[in-house]
Every structure is written in structure tokens, then in C-alpha cells.
Amino acid sequence: SEMCIRDRMLILHDLDHQDLECKDNCLLKIHDFDLVIGSSMGGLAAANASSMRRDSDFRLLLIAPAFGLSDSWEGLSEDELADWKNSGVRTYRGFELEIDLDWSFMEAAESMSWPEVAHHTTIVHGSKDDVVSLSVSETVSSISEMVELVVIDDGHRMKKCLPKLESLVSDLMSR
């Protein structure tokens, strides 16, 4: 898990899947930044920090944020969720990773999957994302005037958004 702070900009990447609440608490302790960038679960953590730090003045750039995480976790059935809860652990395999997730991960996801974004935000989401549905970003952007959604022809890795980041950040910071 890593956070990078450069010139009053916070970038979340390789966010550890184990403790979403811990990442938000770390974000809440950081002061004096203008821009927070988060991708996937890092985007969800950044959105939660926005919801909890309404009095701060910063912008969010969220790349394929994992809104609705608890609603769509791997498409698990009620029986599979019950097995996870009873055993206390489930192994996630994806993106060349194998991670054991404690049930506490799902409990945190249930309470943190749909934060109210309280800052000017640009969400960049791929129309071909097969990990986090574009529909979750469409939902968030439709309920908040603070959120602008930019849809690009890309998957979850969002490599095609890299050349667009400078102009997206410039536009976001001028709002």
C-alpha cells in the first residue's frame, strides 16, 4: 500500500485491500493538499475522505472508483457471503494477486461503499471496465453537481487516460 505526496497533491495507488477504514483515517490526518487522486479502491477511499472532511478545500480526481463495492463484490451469492462471514476469510484472486480478505473488509465496505462526495470531483471511468461497472460512476455523478464524469474507451487499468490527466487536472483545479 502506498501514498505519494508531491507539491500539495496526494496520490493513492496499490491500495491494500485489507483495511479501507485505515486508509481513510490516514487521509483524514493529512493536511494542506489541493488534489487527491485515487484509482479503484484508492478512489473509494479518497471519496470517503472527502465525505469526512467537508471543511477542507481540495479537489478529487477519481479513476474507475470502486463505488458500490459491497453491492457487487465478485457477484457472490447470499450463501457465499454467509460462508465468508462464518469462516471469517475469503481469498480474492485477480490482477495477478491472491489476497486473503477478512470479513471485516466486507463490513467496512458495507458502510463505506457509497460516500457522499463533498468536493469538486472529476471521475474518469472506462466504458469497457469489467471490474468496476461504469454504472456506479454514472450514479454518483447523477446525484451530485460537484461531480463531473468523463467516460473514455478503456478498461479498468485506465492506461488510455494517462495522456488526458494533465488537462483533466487543470480543468478540475479551475472549478
Q: What is the pLDDT of residues 7-63, one digit of tens each?
A: 445 555 444 444 555 555 555 555 567 888 889 888 998 898 888 888 888 899 999
Give residue 62's pLDDT.
96
Q: What is the pLDDT, as a whole number, of residue 47?
A: 92
Give residues with Cβ within 8 angstroms of 175, minimum separation 6. 59, 120, 148
Q: Which residue has the cell 480543468?
A: 171
Average pLDDT over residues 109-132: 92
In this predicted model, which residue has the larger pLDDT, 74 or 142? Answer: 142
87 versus 24: which is more confidently predicted?
87
For residues 175 and 119, give the distance between their C-alpha atoms in angstroms, rounded to a whole number.
10
Instruction: Let me know if 103 is exposed, middle or buried by CB neighbors in 10 A (0-12, 13-18, 19+).
Output: middle
